Amino acid sequence: MDYDTSDPFCKITLGKLSEETRVIIQDLNPVFDEIFVFPMKGLDLEKDEIQFTMFDWDLALNDFLGYTRLPLKKCDLSANDKKKSFWLRLGLREGETTANLWKYYNPFDEDQEITGEINISVWKGCRFDKQIAVAKVPKLLDAAAAEEEFNSKNVLSYVEPRFAVVMVHILEAKDIMAMDIGGLSDPYVKVKLGDIEYNTKYINDTTSPKWNETFTFLVTTPITGKLELLVYDHDYGGFDELIGGMSCELKDLVKFEGANGIREAPGATWRTLVDAAGESADSAGTAYGKMKCAAYLDMEYFEWPQGNVFSTECGELTVDVMDGEDMKENAEYMVVGKLETMWCKLKK
């Protein structure tokens, strides 16, 4: 601990989940301005409480600066977006003294006085809140670890993974490299994401094919992976030849979030085909061609809000899923459907 300043950060714990703010260097009045998302599933709103522990960051062992807690029953969690703010004074845990703090934290002078307050806001949100895009994800405390240790493993999302759909629209191509005798090709597009791939239909004898086909992939947060669009020449009875392609990291795709984000899905654009080396033409200078396509993330996946609080006016849609084929062993599966702009995970 510094004698005239501190490098404070705060640990927030609710149930078995915990997360920390960033460290603010040499500041006795830190402004964190950070958002954390915790699931409400399994919480007892009458008994559970949010715990806040302030530390001074050190290279060796962090110093304890104070502790406070907020019972959930003091928060208004009856409806979404009812934000309530509190100033909470820092102190010790009930029954704790500065003399026994060495059990958990780097000890400080027993005469050191705990001072300060923290300002926090609490509200009930849903997965469509804009704040979720910037909120920190809590970590699951290891139940076998000591009470105050930071042994943890990452939880990839809150409540359940947030789903998104990768939308790919393949329209057409032009000036495709001729791969067959006669100066033409039989081109088709392989759309690939991880182990999943789809093919457009192939168009015979052309260098300007028009496919106008759409493909979708279901992904979950954190959104990672690479989308590949590969143009092949179809050969009857032989091996299809790769003409050229393009790729894009999913995190770089435009996100379509309706009223909460951009107003319209991105339009298709012309992209140049390249080879594995990133070249747009072969050694003789012949270009591979161009393709008009669109790819974006549809973030409007829909799932009933926590607690099944929804309007009965929307009615009910029943979908029977009969069976599946060629599915991977030891994997968990789900079925999703889309009605207009909203995605919904079907109940088991």
Q: How far apart are CA 168 and CA 250, in angstroms?
A: 12
Q: How far apart are CA 330 and CA 219, in angstroms?
A: 19
pLDDT along the chain (348 residues), means of 10: 80 89 92 86 88 88 89 83 87 69 52 82 73 63 39 37 81 94 93 92 95 89 86 89 94 69 71 94 94 86 41 57 76 67 59
SS3 91: strand
Helix, strand, coil shares of the chain as percentages rounded to 5? 5, 40, 55
Which single residue is written with the structure tokens 């039989």? 186
SS3 99: helix
Q: What tokens were used for 73?
A: 């029953």
Closest CA to 166 of 301, 326, 272, 335: 301
Single pTM value for the model: 0.48
Amino acid at 311: S
Instruction: Decide if 246 contacts 229 (C-beta within 8 A).
Output: yes
Q: Return phi, psi of residue 276, to 5°.
A: -65, -25
Instruction: Decide if 17 contacts 138 (C-beta within 8 A).
Output: yes
Q: How far apart are CA 297 and CA 158, in angstroms?
A: 20
Q: How far apart are CA 103 and CA 29, in angstroms?
A: 27
Q: Which pLDDT value is given to residue 209?
A: 96
Q: What tokens were used for 165?
A: 């759909």
Q: Which pLDDT value is given to residue 142?
A: 46
Q: What tokens were used for 234?
A: 């179809």
Neighbour order of strands in the sheet with 226-233: 196-199, 187-193, 226-233, 241-249
Beta-bridge partners for 64: 55
Q: How far apart are CA 234 and CA 228, in angstroms?
A: 18
SS3 252: helix
Beta-bridge partners for 154: 139
DSSP per-residue string spanning 203-250? -SSBSS-EEEEEEEEEEESS---EEEEEEEE--TTSPPEEEEEEEEEG
Instruction: Decide if 343 contacts 163 (C-beta within 8 A).
Output: yes
Residue 217: partners with Cβ closer than 8 Å, 6 or more residues away: 165, 166, 168, 193, 196, 227
Q: What is the 3-state secondary structure (H, E, C) of 144-190?
A: CCCCCCCCEEECCCCCCCCEEEEEEEEEEEECCCCCECCCEECEEEE
